Structure 1
Amino acid sequence: MQQTAVVTGAASGLGYELMLLLAKDNYNLVLIDIDEVKLELIQSELKKNHSCNVNIIPVDLSENNSAETVFTAIRNIKIDVLVNCAGFGVYGSFINTNWKQESSMLNLHIITITHLTKLVLQGMIKQNQGKVLNVSSIAAFQPGPMMALYYASKSYLLSFSEAIANELKDTGVSVTVLCPGPTKTCFQEVVSSTSSENKIGFNMACPKAVAAYGYKAMLKGQVVAIPGVLNKILANLPRFLTRNRTTSIVRKIQEKNREKTSNTEVLINEVL
């Protein structure tokens, strides 16, 4: 029997790339995103080129109770893989950023992902098999001035994933958390809208390569997946420097990136 994968944030970025890998491996798909038009186009394209069934659920996962909305739609489907990739971020000083945007981000990164994972895991435990892939970020390993809540929410996702991965040992269910660095997606197009090639090119990764790395890690049951040697070094930076020093370094990087856009506050629609 074909297995079924649920992918959030499937209309673009890493969610899209991970969805393609699952389709190539003949998974039936449930694709979730706020962009209904893109979901419909993807559904049509997949039906032409793959033998998998494709269901779409257009929903804003930053809204309250959205996890319940999704689970109600999939509760009668045997779920073998859950990919939590939907996310966004807000750039700017904490005292100046928009709280409505930030509260939506926190609801998505923390409440919705946690709740949906909890609901889906119940079925995975009963069937003694399943895989969860949560997409966090290299930002999870240190504080991030100028994107304070984004970094903090990604730290939560890393800690949460590692903890439940330990709890689920010997159940047949694995949890993997992917922590990429900067990746060439529409995230970067928003931050540096004046350049199609993007000015923030340092340590920039290909989304296909990042998705493939995370996908392989999920299949192997690896808990933490950090693609790229430099990203592995950056993730371990707090072990060798004081937290104050690490935070200062991140602040300088963020401020340098800030210079590449004229926006006082940047709403990032595709975040890694």
Structure 2
Amino acid sequence: MHQTAVVTGAASGLGYELMLLLVKDNYNLVLIDIDEVKLEDIKNQLQKTTSCNVEVMAVDLSKSNSAQIVFNTFKNVEIDVLVNCAGFGIYGSFVDNNWEQESAMLNLHIITITHLTKLVLQGMKDRDHGKILNVSSLAAFQPGPMMALYYASKSYLLSFSEAIANELKGTGVSVTVLCPGPTKTCFQEVVSSASSENKISFNMACPKAVAAYGYKAMLKGKVVAVPGNFNKFLANLPRFLTRNRTTKIVRKIQEKNREKTSSVADFENDVSLIKKSV
């Protein structure tokens, strides 16, 4: 029998790539995204190429109680895999940014993901079977001036995932948190073009490769998955430097890349800045 996977942010980027990997493993799918047109296109294509059942739901997960709405819609479905991939970023000074956008991002990254995980988790635990993949970011490992709330929300997701993964040991349910660095997805279309997330091309990862890495980690029950050796180095940087120092480094990189497109030379300068600080 087909197992069932729920994927949020499934219409594009990492969510879409993870959905394709689930299709290859013959999962029935529940695809959640704000983009109804793309969801319907994906459903129509999958119905032509796979025997898996595909359900879609267009919903803004940044809205209050959206997790409960999703869960109620599919409450009769036994969910074997939950992929929390929906998210977006906001660049700029905290004091100057728009609160409505910021609160929507916080609600999506923290409240909705936490609530949906809680709702789905009970059934998984009762059946002694299930896998959860939360998509965080390399940003989770340090403070991020000029994207303060984005970094903080991703840090929450990392900490939350690690904690409940520990609580669930021995239950048959695993939790994995994927923490990619810059990845060529539609994230770049949403976050401000001034952000260094949009300026670094040398270290920009392929979404297919990142998704495959995270998917493999989920299947193995690995808790924290950081794709790429340089990203692993950056994730561990706060262990060797003070948090104050790493915060200053992130600020300098953001500001240096604000007015120009980063080249390989620019990226190497950023690496040099980091190495001089270690």
Relative to the length of structure 1, the TM-score reads 0.92
Aligned residue in 2 for 1:147:
147
How far 1:192 sits from its partner (Å)?
Answer: 8.0
> CA–CA distance in 2 between the matches of 1:244 and 1:120?
38
How far 1:200 sits from its partner (Å)?
Answer: 2.2
In angstroms, what is the RMSD of aligned CA positions?
A: 1.5
Aligned length: 258
Q: Cα deviation per residue 1:116-150 (whole Å; 9 max; x = unaligned)?
A: 00000010011110000000000000000000000
Aligned residue in 2 for 1:269:
none
> CA–CA distance in 2 between the matches of 1:63 and 1:46?
28
How far 1:199 sits from its partner (Å)?
Answer: 4.6
| Contact 1:32/1:56 (8 A) holds in 2 | yes
| Contact 2:183/2:205 (8 A) holds in 1 | yes
How far 1:51 sits from its partner (Å)?
Answer: 1.3
Aligned residue in 1 for 2:79:
79
Aligned residue in 1 for 2:128:
128
How far 1:50 sits from its partner (Å)?
Answer: 1.3
> CA–CA distance in 2 between the matches of 1:49 and 1:15?
19
For the structure 1 residues 24 and 201, does the alpha-carbon distance in structure 2 shift closer, same or farther, using more than 3 Å as the test? same
Aligned residue in 2 for 1:34:
34
| Contact 1:192/1:199 (8 A) holds in 2 | no
Aligned residue in 1 for 2:90:
90
> CA–CA distance in 2 between the matches of 1:118 and 1:146?
31
> CA–CA distance in 1 between the matches of 2:17 and 2:124?
24
| Contact 1:4/1:28 (8 A) holds in 2 | yes
> CA–CA distance in 2 between the matches of 1:236 and 1:200?
20
Equivalent AA in structure 1 for residue 49 of structure 2:
N
Equivalent AA in structure 1 for residue 259 of structure 2:
E
Q: Secondary structure at the match of 1:133?
A: strand
Aligned residue in 1 for 2:107:
107
Q: Secondary structure at the match of 1:82?
A: strand
> CA–CA distance in 1 between the matches of 2:87 and 2:118?
18
Trace 1:1-272 onto structure 2 (pairs within 5 A): 1-189=1-189, 199-260=199-260
How far 1:88 sits from its partner (Å)?
Answer: 0.7
| Contact 2:91/2:191 (8 A) holds in 1 | no
> CA–CA distance in 2 between the matches of 1:211 and 1:148?
25
Q: Cα deviation per residue 1:23-43 (whole Å; 9 max; x = unaligned)?
A: 111100000000000000000
Runs of 4+ with deviation above 3 angstroms: 189-194
Q: Secondary structure at the match of 2:174?
A: strand
> CA–CA distance in 1 between the matches of 2:114 and 2:54?
24
Q: Relative contact order: is structure 1 or structure 2 higher (C-alpha 8 Å, sep ≥ 6)?
A: 1
> CA–CA distance in 1 between the matches of 2:120 and 2:211?
22
How far 1:193 sits from its partner (Å)?
Answer: 6.3
| Unpaired stretches in structure 2, ≥5 consecutive residues | 262-278
> CA–CA distance in 1 between the matches of 2:129 and 2:242?
41
> CA–CA distance in 1 between the matches of 2:149 and 2:242?
21
Relative to the length of structure 2, the TM-score reads 0.90
> CA–CA distance in 2 between the matches of 1:63 and 1:257?
32
> CA–CA distance in 2 between the matches of 1:259 and 1:248?
18
Q: Secondary structure at the match of 2:104?
A: helix
Equivalent AA in structure 2 for residue 52 of structure 1:
C
Q: Secondary structure at the match of 2:90?
A: strand
